Structure 1
Amino acid sequence: MSNVTNLAVVREARRQQEKPNSVGKGFALLHRKIMDTPFYRDAEASHLWVHLLLRANYEPTMVATDYGDIFCDRGEFITGRNSLALETGLTADRVKALLRKFTNLDIITTKSTNRFTVLKVVKYDEYQQFSCPADVQPVSSPNPQPVRRVEDECPADVQRLSTDKEILNTNLISKDIKCASSAENPGKKKPSISCEQVVEVYRRVLPECQGINVITDKRRNLIRTFWQKAGKVTRKLDGHAFGLSDWEAYLTYISRNCRWMLENRPDQRTGKTWRKKALEYFLDVDVYAKAREGAFDDL
């Protein structure tokens, strides 16, 4: 019976794959910001994300299906988890889990029926410009036009990639976090972050967690220590120091994907109650590293 079921899944996926799908031009732009995503080090997740970018329609189109013509806007395409599994080599269950993760990260949306799913890449327009890159046009066009400078028509945030060092220097605060009074140093000073700012982000992003009313010396030391250790992890993963925006992104990921940390849950086996986490728990570099790897995601 399992062989019959597997055969049915393959046939369904192949039928979807054989349907016309207009993908427009023969290239897709891959922004370097993909390296900042929390799933970048997950090979299967990155593979599926790139596949979605390649499958998305470059322009609005009417797709003919067995159920009639379906309109797909730019950045959308018709698919299903079995079809994506066949195309990428992943299992259908893994595709389902990754699509749920992408939805939680607000990078895709899906509209499903009992027959198919229309998947949309949320920021497709932002990173897939109509006129960029220009140096690809002479290769794909039978009548190549003179090559124009890419920066004339590409998004501004693409141009800034060449000046990464200037941007990232604004976040070099691992030794400049001001959790206690200190003497002012003459000359040019690096931007600093206070413990109060760190706690304010914690309160705003994770209001469900245990509250904090006083920043004790122990908590100040925890923040300092965490900032330095998290900086080493972030440099390995992202190539820059740990900043306030990274702290907020870390807690935001927890709020969306690790709900078990934010709830009091009774344990029927032991009779005890699983308590929601507090600030001190998140100021653990091992928790930060494992969260970045997706090890704490809800099942």
Structure 2
Amino acid sequence: MANVSSLAKAREARRPQESPNIGGKGYALLHRKITELPFYRNDSEAVHLWVHIILSANYAPTVVPTEFGDMLLRRGEFITGRNKLELETGVDCNRIKYLLNKFEKMGMISRITTKKFTRLFVVKYDDYQPNFVPTECQQNSIANPDTPRASVEVVPSECQQSATANELNNNSITNVIESPSVIVKAEKKKPSFSCEDVVSAYHEILPEAKGIRALSDKRRNLIRTFWAKASKITRQLDSEPFTLDSWKAYLKYISTNCRWMLEDRPDSRSGKTWQKKGLEYFLNDETYLQVREGAKDDR
């Protein structure tokens, strides 16, 4: 019987794994680093709550509806409350209050609290829930354990500037899917989208904004510059590079929460009319940061 049990376990281990989904649904990865927490051996409720927080956090940036309108949440962030956590974990509400304060003092979480809910962010989310690597990539890693990899900022393809004369362009769809945010140092891979894709998403999501009819060199350079700066901001907020999906989420948030940007507004004091915003306004890292922080929301 022991041999049968071992065979069943081996078969289960060989099954392809699913990647974690947004919002805590599906499978999740949990790093053994959690065993290094100072309370791991002597406070089971704290461990229970911490695991629950990690499993509840969004795996990728996402827009969620709230009583205050749609809200863009970062990777590692989710909306909750003490009563909700008590219902989900069975840990007493007062104990949850104490533990959340403890986690915050230890630098494990940060919080933004309103009268309705709390936005809770796992500060080092990647330490416990690393980006998922597809099964076939894991097998490649096992076969080539010493292959060095480094993260890069993904910039729309034809907006990139050649870093070296020997840059290798790889348009394989398989390669794009398997490693969208990493490259081998000796090889650079082109991302799967272009400046045209960036503009198409802009027109599709913000049809009320000022449209553009041509992509000049100046606009291409503006997209490239914005992408690099937005990636730095997004890495601070989400521990991820800025991608085409990030761009779409940014525009969708504006379409719902920053309607003033998409309207011509008369100024009674000067008698002039403020014109609705265009692509150049949205391709600004300060605008992006303020939108992410909620500072540009409709008043």
Q: Calculate the TM-score normalised by the size of structure 2.
A: 0.49
Q: Calculate the TM-score normalised by the size of structure 1.
A: 0.49
